[in-house]
A and B are shown apart, each in its own frame.
Chain A
Amino acid sequence: MFRFSDVLTLTLVRATIRMSTPILLAALGVIVTELAAITNVGIEGIMLVSAFMAVAASYWSGSWIVGILAAVAAGVLIAALMALIHLRFKANVLVAGIAVNMFSLAFTRFLLVNWFGVAGSFYSPRISPIPRINLSILAAHPVLDTLFNNYNLMDYLGIVLVFVFHFLIYKTVWGLRLRFTGVHPLAVETAGVNVTVKKLQALLISGVLGGLAGAHLSLGYTTQFIENMTNGRGFIGVAAMYFGGISPITTWLASLFFGFTEGVGARLQNLGFPSQFMLMLPYVATVVAITFSMIRQQRRETDKQPF
């Protein structure tokens, strides 16, 4: 028998938050680029390579910190590759993103075989995961314990970053110029600010955030690397960014919503519902993300001359 109470439990709250973290980190990254008129679907590839590098570095060094640093470095490098394709060689940004994604998928598969001699996935007890945080005062109380304990560092970091980016985007000089870069690059340029530099900054920052998201997938959420383990979460991040109106706090809510759907989906699957629903989600998100990005691009065009 199907009962709602089997699905809507306290642990679902946990699942929602945990599953939303990689989406949120990716979404924050693409908010920054989107504000600079770059729809960064390449975030998917950034996350995948970062997830791989996180596992590899953690495995060899035995330190999750080194793992995260490696993931961030990898993320920034892939973002720099995108910048090269898009900013230097002027390729369309969606095309650049898709190219980066295809490259990342093949590249990680190749490294998996070449470095670890396995195909499909890599797991080892030597991989050091990102620690979880447990507060003993909460542990005593079962409800509070399920709700608030046992998250890993990244889950907290994600939430902190929501507010950090809100501040950066809406309160600082940097943020103001970033927001103008997307909607009126010529005004930015004539104000003496280099638009290409702004766009490069935005891409590199999305590399950092994508790196964190990747590290969370392979060292936090699980402790292994699986081929294509991002499985559309980057795209879902892009969709969350649009649903959240390209603004950190509302995007956080959108990420929670996607995390929630994933959580419910997983549960329904356990209860015998067809797994295709879950598997469909990333594709739906992709379609949504790209549709929104096209609509926005058109609007940008028409926005140019309001008078």
Chain B
Amino acid sequence: MEPIVKMTGIVKQFPNVLALKGVDFSVEKGEVHSLVGENGAGKSTLMNILYGVLQPDLGEIYVRGQKQVIHSVRDAMHLGIGMVHQEFMLAPSMTVVENIILGFEPNRRSVVDYDAAAEKIRALSEEYGLAIRPESRIIDNSVGEAQRVEIIKALYRGAEVLILDEPTAVLTPQETEDLFKVIRSLKEHGKTVIFISHKLQEVLAISDRITVMRDGRVQGTLLASEATKEKIATLMVGREVFLNIKAPEGKRGGVVLDVQGVSARGRRRLSDLKNVSFQVHAGEILGIAGVDGNGQSELVEVLTGLRRVDQGDIFVSGTKITNLPPGEIRERGVSHIPEDRNRSGLCAELTVAENLVATKLKRPPLSKNGVIRGQAVRELASRLVEEYDIRPGDYRIPTRNLSGGNRQKVVVAREVSEDAQLLIAAHPTRGVDIGSIEFIRSILIAQREEGKAILLVSADLEEVLSLSDRIAVMYEGRIVGILPASEANEQVLGLMMAGGEYAKAQGEEEKVVEA
């Protein structure tokens, strides 16, 4: 059978990088086809070309055997190609229905026929098992819901081929499971899905075929049934990858972070912090596990001065930092990898170098008497770019032009090089390819070996389990238990994350470890 989409010899040159170096890629009708590859390999670029957002410099695109030139998103839609970007194209203040029908409004003499729209949307929602609330505003929707709205929007516009760019990066494990049900149902209805993810487990679970990209080229296409994690990883990175690094237990030092009975107002009521207490020692990684939205973000914000503490106190190496401004907290030896690199981790318009040195400008050698020393900035920037393998290697380009994973490396490089006593790392490997995950994890462990205290927040249980010395589980703004990593496993943590106490999870009361 003829492939529904076939791209041949696609070349795309950006001002600083040759992002695609002659890519051949084809997708059969009705399959789930995964696209994997390191950060910056060119996955998003390739898909943006198919979706009409970008134009290729060379190469041809065939849809259902017909050669096509896709000038715009509208062209792509007419060909039945839809895409859900990682950054949603939804207006937060508008309703779900309004967002879906925009541009393709059912109408009678230019008056929007909301009844017809609602009818059509309900039908799609039922057919594919996409639960949404049509009358609600986007802002009142969770990330998972918003993503379903995006999928319905694409289907509403007649998508036969649906591109999902890292849809699971922002989802909880439960939401991911729901998304997979939807993808399976789409497949049953004869739709074609192109799925991009860094999580190989997911890729193996959902795909029929897997195409691996590296450095702007396709390395090969495998049948999922014949692929293994190791095979894919090796194709992706060009060498073997070791994810389950487990460093020998570290030498635990004195208390660095001491949180005493902290309460604070949260973004939602469920995420209000309620009397949270714990300590992190030098030479220790304390992992915080929990389903997103149970107060982890608020906890990090409170520790870094981004949210007011209503009650309780926070000490770093014995100094009280409660409600100090973020800058002063940094000066007292706290560095922070924020959960949202785009909003609070980086300034996308500034160059890579500027982002790398932003937190260090006040001190020598980067500045002298308030004047920035360009030479010193360039030296540091080029050293960090090299050390952290940030690609492309040119630190003078705006951070906006980096792929998602490379942006994350900029943040990690800046914060780890702060050499602070306490490193707060929120989802440090989100959206990062496996090669870089391995790299970032090894850096965290190296930091621990140097005697740094590390607070690691991650929605990825595997990450928490493999890195942490102790694990605290948060549920509805409380810490429901802290346990040594040696006693934790996915089942226990899973139960605790759902609100069960450690004791009950274990079935043995006396094993409760004091918070």
Contact = CB atoms under 8 A, between A and B. Distances in A.
Interface string B39-79: 00000000000000100000000000000000011100100
Contacts of A306: 92, 138-139
Given A191-B102, A192-B72, A183 B92 contact: yes
Nearest to B87: A305
A180 B94 contact: yes
B343 A184 contact: no
Among A174, A177, A183, A192, max chain B CB count under 10 A is at A192
A191 B103 contact: yes
B226 to A, nearest CB: 36
A124 interface: no
A184 B92 CA distance: 9
Interface string A162-177: 0000000001111011
A257 to B, nearest CB: 25
A187 B101 CA distance: 11
A173 B89 contact: no
B234 interface: no
Interface stretch (B105-113, B124-132, B445-453, B505-513): B105-113
A191 B99 CA distance: 10
Nearest to B53: A190
B103 A188 contact: yes
Nearest to A171: B111
Contacts of A305: 87, 340, 342-343
B103 A307 contact: no
A59 to B, nearest CB: 40
Contacts of B104: 191
B146 A187 contact: no
Given A171-B111, A172-B110, A173-B110, A180 B102 contact: yes
A228 to B, nearest CB: 37
B88 interface: yes
Interface string B3-41: 000000000000000000000000000000000000000
A174 B343 contact: no
B485 interface: no
A187 B72 contact: no
A177 B138 contact: no
A303 B340 CA distance: 15
A184 B91 contact: yes
Given A184-B91, A303-B92, A307-B170, A192 B73 contact: yes
Interface residues of B, number: 32
A176 B111 contact: no
B175 to A, nearest CB: 12
A10 interface: no
B98 interface: yes
Given A184-B90, A186-B89, A306-B92, A192 B138 contact: no
B489 interface: no
A193 B103 contact: yes
A199 interface: no
B311 interface: no
Given A171-B111, A192-B73, A305-B343, A176 B102 contact: yes
A305 B87 CA distance: 8
A179 interface: yes
Given A187-B102, A305-B342, A173 B107 contact: yes
Contacts of A174: 110
Contacts of B92: 183, 303, 306
Nearest to A303: B92
Interface string B447-483: 0000000000000000000000000000000000000
Interface string A146-174: 00000000000000000000000001111
A187 B74 CA distance: 12
B139 A183 contact: no
Given A173-B110, A307-B170, A188 B343 contact: no
Interface of B: 53, 72-74, 77, 87-94, 98-99, 101-105, 107, 110-112, 138-139, 143, 146, 170, 340, 342-343
The 3 residue pairs across chains A and B that have the minimum distance between CB atoms: A191-B103, A192-B74, A184-B91
